[in-house]
Structure formats: C-alpha cells, structure tokens
Amino acid sequence: MNSAVKQRQHSGPFLPEIPSKNNNKGRKSTQHSRRKQQKEFLPPGSDKSAEVLSKAEISLFRNSLKQNICVELLQEGFHRSFSELFLLLRSDQQRRAEEEFESDELPLEQQWDKLETLRRYLSRAEQAENTCSWTLVCDQRLFLAQFFSSPEDGWLCSYFYHSCADRERGGRSRPATEARACLAEVYLQLGDLQAARQQADQCLQQAGDEGWVDSSGRPLRLRALRALSSVYSRLADAPLEAEDHSEALRLLHRGHSIATESEDKKLEFDALLRLGLAYQSAGDHDTAKQLFNTCMQICGSLHDAEGLGKSYKAMSKSIESEGNTQKTLECLEKLVDICRDNGLKRNLADAFLCLGNTYFTMREYSRASEFFLQGYEVSCELGDVALLQKAQVLVGTSRARSLFGKFSADVESCSPAALKRLISWKETRGRQEVGSDSTGSDAASAWC
C-alpha cells in the first residue's frame, strides 16, 4: 500500500483532469484553495477541525463563493462592508446584463482573489471608521482603487477613487487628495475634460503646501498641475478646429503657465510646442518662431532628439510660410541631420519628404526627386507601406516634371540628335526601375 501511495504522489492526481468549459470547475478549485488558506490560518492547537468538519466549514464547500464572503463579513460584524459588497455585486450583474456582447471575463462574484481583496480591505476600512481613523479609511479605499487597475475593472477603480475622495470625513486627507489626482487622470483618459479639471483643481487646493507625495514618491501638487496642463491643452482643440484662435491661445497660454509651474520640462515643452503651432495657424509666425526656439533650447537641455526634430519641423513650416526658402532648406537639412544622428527613421523619412517638397515648390524637380527617393528608401527600411506608397508617388511626379521640360524641348527642336534621344528613350522606357535611372537610360541621363 505504501508503494501505491508513493506512486500516486509521483504521478500526480489519480484521474486525468477533465477540462470543462463551464465555470463550475474554477469555482470549486477556488473554494478549495480558500479552505486551504483557512487551514493555514488556524492556530496550531486546533487539529480537531481536521478530523470533524464544523457546519461552518462544510458550508464553505457547499455554498457559493459570494455567500461565503458575505457571511464572513456579517459574522465579524462588518455589516456596512457587506452592504457595499452586495451592492457592488448587484451592479456587476446589471452591468453584465446590459452589455450587448458576452464578455469572456468571469462575473465578479466568481473571482476569488478579487472578492477576497474586497472583503479584506473593506473590513479594514470599516474597522478604521469605527475608531474614527478617517485617513486610514481612505488609505484602504485608495488601495482598492489601485488594485482594480485592469481595464475591465475600470468601473470599480473609479468607484473606489470616488468613495475615497468624496468622503465627508477624511476627504481632505493625503490619500483622498491622491485619489483626486488619480481621478483627474482617469477623466482625462476618458476625455471628460471638465470633470478632469474639477478634480485636478480640487487636488491642487487640498494639496496646497502640504508637500504630500503619492505612493510612488511623486509630489501630488505636481501631478495635479500636470493633469491640469494637459486638460487646458486639450480644451484648446475645439476652438482651434473652429479657428477661434484667440480662445485657443488663451487656453494654451493657461496650459503653458501651469506646465511651467509643474517643474516638468517635458510637459513645458509640449505646451510650448502646441502654443507655437497655434500661433502658426493664427498666422503669427514671429511669435511662433520664438516659441519654437525656446522649444529647441528645452530639448537641448533634455537631450530629447525627437522633441528637437518636432521643433525643427514646426520651425521650417513657419519659415516656409514667410517665403524664405533658403532658410527653410537650412532648417530642414538640420532636421535631417538630427534624425539621422539619432536613428529616428520615421522622422527621417518625413524630413526627406519635406525637403523634397520644398525643392519641388522651387521647381528644382531633380533635387526634389533625389530627396523623395531617399525618403522612399528609408520608408522601405521601415516597412511602412502607406508612407512608402506616398514616397513612390512623389518620386514619380517629381521625376516626370524634371523630364518634361527637356522632353518638350527635344520634341520642338527637330534636330537629329534630339530625335535620337527621343527614340532611345522610347525604347528603354518602361524597363527602368525606380532608383536606377542614372545608369539605366542614356537619354534620361542626358536630359538630367
């Protein structure tokens, strides 16, 4: 018999596990682990329970997970936690019933780890409430909100942030203020800018000069400022679209001054760039250029090549609008250098195309086609089909333009040499590959 036991230990379970699609299995196994956990917590003297199961222990197996958790809370006297949990489970049911598509996710009431966490922290919060330790209450609720960080638990996350931030007692504590900062970010993500602004404003007000930091050590005041600055930047989108430049500039200036206050250089750069672009679209290129210059300085100190690239690109656009082609070209060449030195391939392709465009507008078609071609090559390396096709079209157009003048001159001149060139071109055309024209066709190279 001993050997039989040993063998079983080695070969794992006696019967093979039957994979089942319904959730019963999951539920049972979680209950089993729950029971195991309970046993671990039992004091060493209570071996009696291992022999004879009590009614309460039997019910752990028989009853649903939801019932066990609820009963445990009630039995320990945490009736407010019970009510809260019960209502949350109800709204989970309703939420799922209203959903059009059936989700793969298990109902909340079948997820042991989530229910157990809820039970533990809700009861801690209630205990703290009973001893009037309001900050501690908020700490527990903040923890729960951060525990439910996955996207499918978003509703629980904002529920607990609110239940922490909106408390009558403890609502001005550090954790409640942190919850406000988080809520501002949540609303920002959801695109509810007014709500985000309200939360960020309130967070700023509460954080004041307390010097509070969040769980990861970042100052709360700065977090709120960051959120607020982003809110103002995004609020400017609508007036910009409607070409209401003065309103957009007002909002962006506000966003910029908050960003400066936030001591976050990257954020300050973003705000400045947006402000510059807004001035650009309003036609005030001098101010825009000044702002882009400041952007470049900030990027220099941050060693942010991508930001620098963005600044140069924006700058070149302003210079171009002023009609200063030479300076535009200088600016774009600088942009190409930056992108090449820092391995920013996408920006490099973009820069080549810009440069090509500028030559194109100057009617220097062969120069333009050279740059378009370089842009095409980089986009081939990137494997970006859309960009690649765009570059192909540009190369084609510019090359056609560059050939066109000489072609028509030859047609008009009627000299034998011209005729010969035309015939030779006609015979080789179509066999050329893009990019190999300098060696492929005598005629074309003669024209170029």
CB of 1 vs other proteins, minimal distance in Å: 35
CB of 48 vs other proteins, minimal distance in Å: 15
Could you say whether residue 71 binds other proteins (CB under 8 A)?
yes
The stretch near other proteins (CB under 8 A) out of 67-75, 219-227, 278-286, 303-311 is: 67-75
Q: Which phi-psi region, left, alpha or beta, contains residue 101 (left: φ > 0; alpha: ψ -120 to 50)?
A: beta
Could you say whether residue 132 binds other proteins (CB under 8 A)?
no
Q: What is the DSSP letter of 432?
A: -
CB of 141 vs other proteins, minimal distance in Å: 19
Among 386, 315, 387, smallest CA distance to 348 is for 387
The stretch near other proteins (CB under 8 A) out of 52-60, 291-299, 337-345, 394-402 is: 52-60
- Output 9 or 131, the one with its CB closest to other proteins: 131
Exposure string (b/e) for 321-335, b if CB count within 10 Å is 16 or more? Answer: eeeeeeebbebbebb
Among 30, 38, 86, 382, binds other proteins (CB under 8 A): 86
Q: What is the DSSP letter of 102?
A: P
Please enumerate, as own/partner, the contacts of 258-264 that have beta carbons within 8 Å and a separation of 24 or more.
Answer: 258/225, 258/228, 258/229, 258/232, 259/225, 259/226, 259/229, 261/225, 262/222, 262/225, 262/226, 262/229, 263/222, 264/222, 264/225, 264/226
Three-class SS of 244-281: CHHHHHHHHHHHHHHHHHCCCHHHHHHHHHHHHHHHHH
CB of 125 vs other proteins, minimal distance in Å: 14
Could you say whether residue 91 binds other proteins (CB under 8 A)?
no
- Output 73 or 344, the one with its CB closest to other proteins: 73
219 has which bridge partners? 213
Could you say whether residue 93 binds other proteins (CB under 8 A)?
no
The stretch near other proteins (CB under 8 A) out of 2-10, 51-59, 334-342, 412-420 is: 51-59
Could you say whether residue 27 binds other proteins (CB under 8 A)?
no
- Output 74 or 302, the one with its CB closest to other proteins: 74
* Contact footprint for other proteins (CB under 8 A): 55-56, 59, 67, 70-75, 77, 79-80, 82-83, 86-87, 130
